[in-house]
Each structure stands twice: as structure tokens, then as C-alpha cells.
Structure 1
Amino acid sequence: PRAIAHLVRQHGAAAVIGVQQRDRVVALKAARRCGVPGVVTLQNQHVFWGPWPLRAVKERYYRHHVRRGAALALAVSDGVAREAHERFGLSPQRIVVVPNAVGDAQPTDHAAVEQRRREFVDDAGLLLLSVGRIDPQKGFDVLLPAIAAVRGQFPALRVVIAGGTTQGPRAAAAERHARELQAQVQHLGLADTVVFAGFRSDVAELLRAADAYVQPSRWEGFPLTLLEAMQAERPVVATEGAGRPAGFVDGTHGYIVPTGDSTGLAKAITMVLQATPLQRMEMGRANGALVRANYRIDDVRRRSADALEGLVGGPSTRPAEHIAE
């Protein structure tokens, strides 16, 4: 905190912003030390790791400093805002919801999209895509029983899970979870149905190649991949843990089911895959329109800038695109 406070004074900063969970308390202490507002950006629901006594101590320490020192919290979703209020004691007046957003859709490379589709299915196949790192948070162990339940109705179904394993301090646990998922695939007889594709740099093409997208997360802030799938005009199936986009209507845009509910996922996936190609196209177009209406990156940048300007008492001297980032 002392070093950060020195930088704040040196550069005349109007506020200190803590972005990552591990950095927020340090940022708030620095802000308090030099007498400027402390801001936290909340991109996800909170998890405190370690054995139980340590987790409890970490959460209590974090809650004390956030409640005491955060003049403003920028929350990525209504669910994250609710957690900030109910779990950490921030008043609603100090919380502004600033969702994730996407830029303008890029032109589609139809040849690349067709190549990605051919990588996994033939003309008669159905391609279901999920994107996320291999981690218990992402709920792939909940998705697999759902796929086992629907596979008999859709024998040409291929499910592609794109994402690498978590790195850093939890890398060993992530690798163990990856092995558990592989064992689950074998146990459920899904070896010919489910593909773990690893990290992919061509997610945009994979989204366009898929017939539908599924986000089975146990918890999230507001996943960018869900927005990207909607922008790519795919019907989506997601859990409540992944968040409900503003304006999302079950049956019109896809389906949102209770978190951790394999049976609910199976029913929703069945409804999407049983729809005609035209019906899935209409769902996808509705998703594209919803994203364009509510999740344009320029609008979200402006919302961030307005919140910060309101806090520090006047227009910022920096462009809005830098404030949001």
C-alpha cells in the first residue's frame, strides 16, 4: 500500500482501482493512506481458497476492508452486485453494474467456419460447443451426464469442449480435475461423443461452426464467451450460475436452467437440438439483436467512465476507452 500511495501522490491520481480479488485490499489500503477514493471492479463471484479456518479468515479480512474502503464497486452483473451487497456489506448506492461487452462482429470467414465444422462432424452431424478452462467452476462434470442422457436421441451429436487447464497455484488441482473428467467420459460411454479440444485460438470460427452453445458453469461473473456465442447468433443453453443476460427470454434466445442441474441441462439441450435449423437460426438472430442492443462495448465504456467521473467529481482527463480497461 505504501508504494502504491507514493505513485498516487506522484502522478496525482484521482482514485485507486483494485481489479483482481487478490489486489483489492491492497488498493483500498493505498487509497485510504493517500486520501483518494478506493474503487473495486468485481468480475466474478468470490471464492476463498485454502483449508476452512484460513478461508474464513481470508473472507472476514476481505469483507472488512471492502465494506470500509470501497467508495465504488463496478460489478459485472446483477448477481455479482447482489453478492457485494449481501455478502460483503456494500450499500447498493456504492454499486454500479457494468456488464461485459463485445465489439462489433467481425466478417465471417465462411471457408474457415466450414473447415472447423468438418473437423468434428459430417453433413448429418450436430455440433454442440462449450468454451472454458478445465476447472470445477465451469461445470463440465455436470454437463457430461446431460450429454449421456440425450445422446440416444441424437446419435450424430458431437460435443466439443474448448479450453486449457487452470494455471498458477491451482494447476495441480486442475490437472487432477481434467483426469477426472476423462474418466467420467469413459464411464458414461461418451468417448465417441465428447472431444476435449484444449486451448483454441479459433473460438470465433468454432462458435460460427456450432449448432448451439452451452455454458454449464457453477458460478461466473458474466461470461464473455456467452456473449460471444450470442453475438455469433447461436442459440445458447446456460445455467443460472453463468448469469442471465438482460432481455433473455427462454425459448426465444435459448434456455437458462438451475445451476448444477444435469437433468435441466439435458432437457434444454434436447429442446434446442430438436428445433429445426430455421428455428435455431431464429434463436441465434434474436441473440445477435439482444447483444447489439444491450452489450455494445462503447456503451459499457461510457457507463464505466460516468461512474468514475461521478465519484471523483468531474469529467476524467483520460479517454473513456482507457478508463474502462
Structure 2
Amino acid sequence: MSVKHGKIRILETIRQGKIGGGESHVLDLVATLNRQRYEPVVLSFTDGPMISALRKMNIAVHVIHSEKAFDIPVWKQVKRFLREQQVHLVHVHGTRANTNVLWAARNLGLPVIYTVHGWSFHEGQHPVMKWARTLAEKYITRKAQVNICVSESNRQTGDQAFRGLNAVVIRNGINTARFNPDASYPDIRAEYSIPANHLVLGYIVRMTYQKDPLTMIRAFAEALKLVPQMTLLMIGEGELKEAARNAAMEAGITEQVRFDNFRQDVPAVLNGIDIYCLPSLWEGFPIGVLEAMAMGRPVIASDVDGTREAIENGENGLLVPAADSHALSAAIVTLATDAPLRQRLGQKAIASVTEHYQVADMTGKIEAIYDQLYKP
């Protein structure tokens, strides 16, 4: 297959058009690829804000509707799409996208790169489901030419689960020109009618089991007993959003919790908060944490796999045990009552991202893999 206009045509594919960590990664990657050498095409399996964002960037984007892994009826459609698009390499992001693209790509002889944005198997799953997902991940990692893990802990988990995993680690990077704490932003606090004397906590993430919004609500309710002048901003969507609303109502704190849907102006939202919270049960390498750090916001996050690679407890953020609302509440109170500590952690966070997590570095490492695999 010849290179159109001298460019390597790359398919970037991901399971959904809603924006989470993996989708943010894809947006940053295609925005920073060397467009003189690479021509990205994006395939999603659902619509959503990511699709609109890509079109605004003039990136070719297509949707083949599917919400299931191993959705065999769409495989031929994907194969037809790959042939029509004349891509040279296929870069899949996440398990579900991989299961629905791998057969077509291999059938056409296209090299496959698989980025693992966190494994689909994890603690707390039903043993049969965990076994099945582990088997599926082992299979698709064996069939990819290159596997990329976004954290060393993810690589080690896969290596142990599969009794061997051939993978490289390329951590997520942040566009620090976009996430710039020195830029001017709209007044988010005024938009949400937050009292001027309130400290603002931000939970800006999908409200799913993994991200544990109910622990966030319980911890905030407990912290309010000691520091009443606080507001929690919960921005995102997901299957537990209504449960989180109900939990806030039952705790009697609805006046101090603001719910909203996903917003594309994430830097402005982060600029409007004082503390960023992410009480996840597990993580790959959380982009939301890096974005908050880039904006100089002190982070409180669960002490889990990829997160602990970005945060050194007490140095550039605070780590607490997962699913522990009391520990999260105590950390909230600690930061809420210590402005110098918030300032110090925020400055250390900026330095960490600036030194270690630049999007240009991430993209450069991925481009090197594309060059390695492309055989004209």
C-alpha cells in the first residue's frame, strides 16, 4: 500500500465518543502528531463529545456503532472500513476497541499497536468474569505487534497475569500550553453560584464504579462537619450519577454539591477549584490527575497502581486508601485547613508535570513505534 502524499496513514480507534482518560489521550495524540509525516484517522464505536472535538480539529473521524466487546457482526464492517481508508497501521486504545478491530486488521495484514489504558480485569470482579477478561486480554496482547502500557504497574500486572507480557511503558502526557495556570479563564465559581468564601473541591470524571463517586459524597459530607464552608463540584456523566445525587440528598448536603455534565473547557473548571479529588478503585495512569497537577491544583487520590506513579504522597499530592471515605475526608480537612500546604503541593505538581509528563514526549515515543512498524 503506497503512502498517500508521502504520509503514513494511522487509524486511531477507541470504544466510545464520550470523553474519559483514553479519549483525552487520543485527542492529545492526534493533535500533536507530526502532520507532515502522519495522517490520523479516528474510529469510535459510539457518538459523543470527542467526535465533535475531532471535527473541530479537522481530523477525519468515523463511527461504527457497537457497545459490546467481541461484537462479531461489526467485524466485517470494520474490515470494509479499513480497506476503504487505506490505512498503514492500526493503533487501538482499550480492550473493547481492540476486540472489534483486531480480526479485521490482521486479516488485512495491518500491524496493530495496542495501548492499554488500564486492564479490563481487576479486583472485585466475579471470578468467572475476571478469568474471562484475563484470557481475552492475554489473547489480544499476543496478537498485537506492539503493546503499550501507560504505567509500569499495568505492565507488571499484565506480566504476572499472562505469565509474560511483551510491552513498553509510555506514560500519558499533558498539553501544558492548554493546561496553563497563568492563563486567563472565565469565572467558574460565579457560573455555579458558589459563595466567595467557600473552598471548592473538584471531582471531574466519569461517575462509574471505578471512579467511586459514592465514596466521594460520603467523604465530603463527613469533612463538612469540620469545615462547613466548602462546595463540591461534580462534573461528568455515568451510570452512578443518579446514585450520587441521591446520596448527596440523603446526607443533606445538596446545597453544597453542584452536579453538571461533562464540559470541554476542563482547564477553566480546574482553574476554579482549590482541590482535585479522584477516589478511584483502580487506574491506568490518570490523565485527570495530571491535568489538575499541570494547573497547580493539589490532588487527593486513591493509592492505586498507576496513580501512585504520578503522585508521591506528601510531596506533589496526597494518597489515601481506595474505598476509604474516612481517610479521604481526613485528607480533605488537612488540605482545606492548610493553605500553605495546598500551595506547596500545587507548585510541586506543576514541576512534576513539566519535567516528566509533557505530551510532546509521549507523542514522540509513539511516533517512533509507528516508524518502526511501517514497512513501505
Alignment TM-score > 0.5, same fold: yes
Q: Which residue of 2 aligns with 1:153?
A: 226
SS at match of 1:219: coil
Equivalent of 1:181 in 244, 253, 278: 244
Distance 1:86 1:5 in 2: 36
Identity of aligned residues (%): 24
Alignment of 1:273-288 (within 5 A): 273-276=336-339, 278-288=340-350
Deviation at 1:29, TM superposition (A): 3.2
Root-mean-square deviation over aligned CA pairs: 3.1
Q: Aligned residue for 2:142?
A: 68
Contact 1:146 1:265 in 2 (8 A): yes
1:259 maps to 2:322: yes
* Kept after mapping to 1: 8 A contact 2:201/2:233: yes
Give the one of 273, 284, 294 matched to 2:356. Answer: 294
Match of 2:298 among 217, 222, 235: 235
Contact 1:9 1:34 in 2 (8 A): no
> Equivalent residue for 1:23?
97
Shift of 1:206: 1.9
> d(CA) in 1 for partners of 2:91 and 2:263?
31
Normalising by structure 1, report the TM-score: 0.79
Secondary structure at 1:137's aligned position in 2? Answer: coil
Q: Is structure 2 residue 117 aligned with structure 1 residue 117? A: no
Work out the CA distance in 2 between the residues paired with 1:158 and 1:9: 51
Matching residue within 183, 187, 205 for 2:268: 205
- The answer (yes or no) to whether the contact 2:270–2:292 under 8 Å persists in 1 is yes
CA distance in 2, matches of 1:242, 1:144: 23
Post-superposition shift, 1:40? 1.1
Report matched runs for 1:82-161 at 5 Å. Answer: 82-91=156-165, 94-106=166-178, 108=182, 110=184, 112=186, 115-118=187-190, 119-161=192-234
Matching of residues 52-67 of structure 1 within 5 Å? 55=129, 58-59=132-133, 62-67=136-141
In 2, are the aligned partners of 1:18 and 1:25 still within 8 Å (CA)? no
Secondary structure class of the residue paired with 2:146 = strand
Q: How far is 1:137 from its partner?
A: 1.9
Do residues 306 (structure 1) and 351 (structure 2) align? Answer: no
Count of residue pairs the alignment pairs up: 296
Q: Distance in 2 between matches of 1:246 and 1:63?
A: 23
Return closer, same or farther for 1:56/1:158 CA change in 2, 3 Å cut-off. closer
Q: Deviations over 1:263-303 (max 9, x none)?
A: 22112212211212x33222111111110111111111111
Once residues 147 and 295 of structure 1 are traced to their aligned partners in structure 2, the CA distance between those partners, rounded to angstroms, is: 30
Residue in 2 that maps onto 1:168: none
Structure 2: how far apart are the matches of 1:296 and 1:269? 28
Aligned AA (2:242): R
**Conserved 8 A contact 1:142-1:261:** yes
Rounded to whole Å, the distance in 1 between the matches of 2:213 and 2:305 is 13
Give the SS at the match of 2:201.
strand
Gaps of 5+ in 1: 166-173, 318-325
The alpha-carbon deviation at position 251 of structure 1 amounts to: 1.7
Deviations 1:229-248 (A, max 9, x none): 10110100011247336463
Contact 2:134 2:161 (C-alpha < 8 Å) held by counterparts: no
2:315 & 2:131 partners in 1: Cα distance?
45
Q: Is contact 1:246–1:294 with CA below 8 Å preserved after alignment?
A: no
Kept after mapping to 1: 8 A contact 2:286/2:307? no
One-letter amino acid matched to 1:100? N
Q: Point out the structure with the larger helix share.
A: 1
Partner amino acid, structure 1, of 2:280: S
What is the aligned counterpart of 1:80 among 127, 133, 154?
154
CA distance in 2, matches of 1:56, 1:255: 30
Cα distance in 2, alignment partners of residues 140 and 18 from structure 1: 28
